A and B are shown apart, each in its own frame.
Chain A
Amino acid sequence: MSAAIDIQNVTRWFGEDHTGRPAVAHVSFEVRFGEMLYIVGPSGSGKTTLLSIISGILRPDEGRVVIAERNIWQLTPDELAELRLAHIGFVFQDFHLFPRLTTLENVAIPLILAGKTWPEALALSRPYLQVVGLNGKEELMPMKLSGGEQQRVAIARAMVLQPQILVLDEPTASLDGDTGRRIVQFIQTEFLNDQRAIVIVTHDARIEEFAHRILYMEDGQLTRIEKGKTI
């Protein structure tokens, strides 16, 4: 079976003349189906840059990224956008929920982008809010929810199109320890199966217990890969 994401020799520079050191340098690894992979490292180590490259958001200067048997950086911008919509679910660090839309409407946005009508999209989104435990809060505005609840809305939004890959950027950064652990455990339980993969960028050691593999980065380099406690 092919990997969910195959990353080969990826390098990314910032700045105009590629002087200094790259943000990500010659990184190769793969994310397997059924796996929860962490990318950890100190601030400025290139974690977020790497996450952006493997999720089709930031073009690398070198290397290739294969998702669904396609080198995503050979796709046109529109094809890449379609691939992201269909295959990748995003949970951003600051959630980026629309403050003037209800919880349910926020979850429905990927379905709207996929061409569903609002009634269809809302009907399809409702079960996902139930899955993340926000039953009865469909009509609330995000501002009325706690940080953990907003996080769960963002997760429901990422899951609603049933993508193969779930990408989370510092999912526990704004949560207390217990809530953070509960959220990650929840994602593992509800989302992960042998046809899906999860990539989490974090430097929160409290959630390491859920990882299958942990990828350590420093100065843009992949320094080591360790098996997590879940294995």
Chain B
Amino acid sequence: MTKDVVGIVKRINSTWPRVRLSHLSLAFKLLVSDRSKFTSLLLGITFAVFLMVQMTSMFAGVLKRASATIINVGAPIWVMDPAVSTVGSAIPMPDYVVEYARSIEGVKFAVPMYSGGGMVKLPSGDYQAVTVLGLDDSSLYGAPRLTKGQIADVYAENGFIVVADSEYAKLNRPPVGAEFELDDHRAVIVGIAVVNSAGLFGVPTLYTTYSRARQYIPSTRYTASFILIEPKSTQDVPEIKARLQELGYLALTDQEFIERTSDYYKFKTGMGVNILLMTIISFIVGLSLSGQTFYSFIQENLDKFGALKAIGAKNHELVTIILFQSFVVSLMGLGLGVGYCTVVIGVARSVLPNYAAIITPFNLGLAFVMVVIIAALSGYFGVRRVLKIEPFDIFRG
């Protein structure tokens, strides 16, 4: 078996056209020596990559922020009504579901969580919408990390913790001890917290106890937006999900809930289609710009390629030269485009703290794949043209 493989590799090596470094260096020299064409090519691909990465980064940022509560609370299993798509669309469940969850063999503990919205009346008289998260009274499971104050102070009368994220300023940056009105109730800031991810909808977030949240925010008959479960072990997760499904509820791991949220924004809001369209348009713009410029670059040098062919360059060597040129310029464009996008996102974030855009490995992978396609197509048209040229045409002028 090993001998067979070695034999095959040897046969491929002996028949495969050898790529010589000297040819690649000639290709590079020919490419960069025409500075105006090289710059146009580079700008075209850089612009296309910038647009593609920018679009997909914005979408990735939006999706991350849409799952901010799931990420920040950090519970391994979330129980919800099967109709729920996102944290923001929670359908309250009766309290007995909590008791039922606690009775499942593999559950270490299960706590209710409240998620809802309220209106804060600012000292100026203006109203500001806020997200209120009510944590289990006894455990405060899912509490954020505090930078000021003590978590136990949330039990104090009218105690609330405010998250100092990009929306904090909308509440006039209240310090510990600040008082305000929340849905006609007096509230006091007892702590300031930081979280991993800011929310999507541009509203500040307040944490309090589950019972206070129910008391402050006008509620329906049932009040548990979600039930958060800590399993005894990961092996228990399928059983927990199955048991809750028997009761008519949906139990998802945090990753599954993030994916469900992402799917909702991707497929049910039109946002995904719009971003996809913009990404495709960027791709087409990039392909047109670079394809056209690369083709005219080949066209202008066609007689030179013909001369090379006459002198003794083989077809596969010319193909190597053209593809190498096309891939080099494309990969340089990818680097510049990603760099440019990183700078723009960085600057945008410094000016607009709630600017939602993140460059993920998936964005980079997608941009790379698209750039490879651009390079391959641009190279293909160039190769087709060069392979068709006959050295005899060079003699004929």
A contacts, CB < 8 Å to B: 48-49, 51-52, 57-58, 77-78, 81-86, 88, 90, 92-94, 96, 98, 100-101, 105, 109-110, 112-118, 121, 157, 169
The binding surface of chain A is classed by DSSP as helix
Q: CB of B315 within 8 A of chain A?
A: yes
Contact A113 B308 (CB under 8 A): yes
By a CB distance below 8 angstroms, the chain B residues around A114 are 312
The binding surface of chain B is classed by DSSP as helix
Q: Tell me, in angstroms, the Cα distance from A116 to B311 when the chains sit together.
A: 15
Contact A81 B392 (CB under 8 A): no
Q: How far is the CB of B356 from chain A (nearest CB, A)?
A: 45
Contact B392 A57 (CB under 8 A): yes
Partner of A112, one of B22, B33, B309, B391: B22
Q: How far is the CB of A16 from chain B (nearest CB, A)?
A: 16
Which of B5-13, B24-32, B127-135, B198-206 forms contacts with chain A?
B24-32
* Known A51-B395, A96-B304, A115-B20: A101·B30 in contact at CB below 8 Å: yes
Partner of B23, one of A57, A100, A113: A113
By a CB distance below 8 angstroms, the chain B residues around A78 are 314-316
Contact B395 A52 (CB under 8 A): yes
Chain B's closest residue to A96 (CB) is B307
B contacts, CB < 8 Å to A: 20-23, 25-26, 29-30, 33-34, 301, 303-304, 306-317, 390-392, 394-397
Partner of A109, one of B26, B306, B314, B392: B26
Chain B's closest residue to A48 (CB) is B395
* Known A57-B391, A113-B23, A115-B22: A105·B29 in contact at CB below 8 Å: yes
Partner of A90, one of B22, B311, B397: B311
By a CB distance below 8 angstroms, the chain B residues around A110 are 311-312
By a CB distance below 8 angstroms, the chain B residues around A101 are 29-30, 33
By a CB distance below 8 angstroms, the chain B residues around A115 are 20, 22
By a CB distance below 8 angstroms, the chain A residues around B304 are 96, 98
Chain A's closest residue to B309 (CB) is A81
Contact A57 B310 (CB under 8 A): yes
Contact B30 A118 (CB under 8 A): no
